[in-house]
Structures are given as structure tokens and as C-alpha cells.
Amino acid sequence: MRAKPAHHAQTFTAAAAALLVSAAAFTVSACGVSDQSATKSTTTAVDPARAPADVRWENYQGVQLPIGGHDGPSKLGTTAAGYTRTPQGAALAAINHSTRLSLAPDGVWPQVAAISLMPGAGKDSWVLARAQISITAPANATVAPQIAAYQLTAYTPDRADLTVYATYSDASITATTETVRWVSEDWRLELPDPAAKTQTVQSVPAIPAEAVKLAPAK
């Protein structure tokens, strides 16, 4: 295992750390969101090892994000919402919420936070940190992550804990631990209390074989 994250991963996660890690890490504009479909329910048996179905990739601020044809988000615009109450929906919510929060530009991030975050000390700390910086441009392509896989470590219909794996152009890999909770008929990201000093991002040598792989964006 590397003693430190490789350069590109370290550069990108430094920016994210100012937001997510420093925070531990539905206000929707009517003209900014197109409702593709209502939040979907499912009767499919719970299988945390199953990959989300019909995944396509959409660019958000220089990073490709997975959009599930069945598991969400089904509402896309300024914000992303509408996930199934399944392991797959929880994983897609965690990935989309955390990345959009890290990269949301000035003027947009309050809406993203309102949709994405659970109330609490983690959210409060994130809001204070975000208000002190400015993001006006997409992520630099040379340091932007490629979301590659995730692994659920715990799942109930009300909460999911998982690790999200991302790769970088210098072949480095990061593992980010995330938690989402089912509230108001959707998954929301729960940032850890900064007082706990939880390490949420670390460098890893490889993606575990048992992780759920996401087909690379084309």
C-alpha cells in the first residue's frame, strides 16, 4: 500500500477534502430540474452484489457520474434526486451526492446541499467550509477521478454504508467511505460529525475483487 495518495488523487481529493472531509471529509429550482419519472419502487430481491442496471454516464463539472436507468437518479437538473430504495439506489445516491457536493459551483451548491445532505453537525460544518471557497470551473481532466466501483459494508432499507473506489490518470486509487440514509422518500448523504475526526478518504493499492464494478464511461 502506498504511504501517501499518488499525486493526481491527492490533488483532486485536496479540493474535496476542503468540503467533504472538512465536514467530517428539497429545495429544487422549478426551471432547473426536469422530472424524468417519479422515485421508483421495486419488488426485486435485495442483492447488494448486483450492479445497477442500465447505467449510463453523464458529465458533471468534469467528472463522469453513473445514472441508473432503473435505480436513479430519475430527476436530473441543478440537482439529482429520485433513487430506488435498494442497495443499488443507495450506492448511486452516495456516488452522485458526494461528487456533486464536491464540485457544485458557486450559486448552485445551496440547492445541492438542500437535496443531498442529512441535517446535522456534518452538514453544518460542510456549509461553513463551502461558503469560504469559490468553485467556478469544472475539475481539471488530468486530476479528475473515474468512478470505478463500490462495496456495500452494511445495508438496511433505512441506511447504507459503503466504500466508493475511484481511479486517476496516474493509476492511483482512492477509497472513500460514505453513508446514506432513507429520508423523505429518497436517499440522503450523511456526513460524519467533524468532532469524530473520521478519515473518509485513503489511498489503496487495488480495488477489491468483491467490489461491484461499474462499466467505464465511454
Look at residue 139 and tell me whether its pLDDT is greater than 90: yes
Residue 160 in contact with residue 83, Cβ under 8 Å? Answer: no
Q: Is 69 left (phi over 0), alpha (psi -120 to 50) or beta?
A: alpha
Locate 179 and state its grid cell: 453513508
3-state DSSP of 79-90 = CEECCCCCHHHH
Looking at the chain, the number of H-run helices and the number of E-run strands are 4, 11
Look at residue 24 and tell me whether its pLDDT is greater than 90: no
Locate 64 and state its grid cell: 463522469
Locate 115 and state its grid cell: 437535496
pTM for this predicted structure:
0.82
SS3 78: coil
What is the dihedral angle through the alpha carbons of 178, 182, 186, 187, rounded to the nearest 10 degrees? Answer: 0
- Between CA 58 and CA 120 the distance in angstroms is 30
Quick one: pLDDT at residue 38?
38
Locate 204 and state its grid cell: 489503496
Q: What is the mean pLDDT of residues 31-49?
A: 52
**What digits encode the pLDDT tens for the residues 157-171?**
999 999 999 999 999
Quick one: pLDDT at residue 4?
39
DSSP, res 48 = T
Point out the least confidently predicted range of 9-13, 72-76, 117-121. 9-13
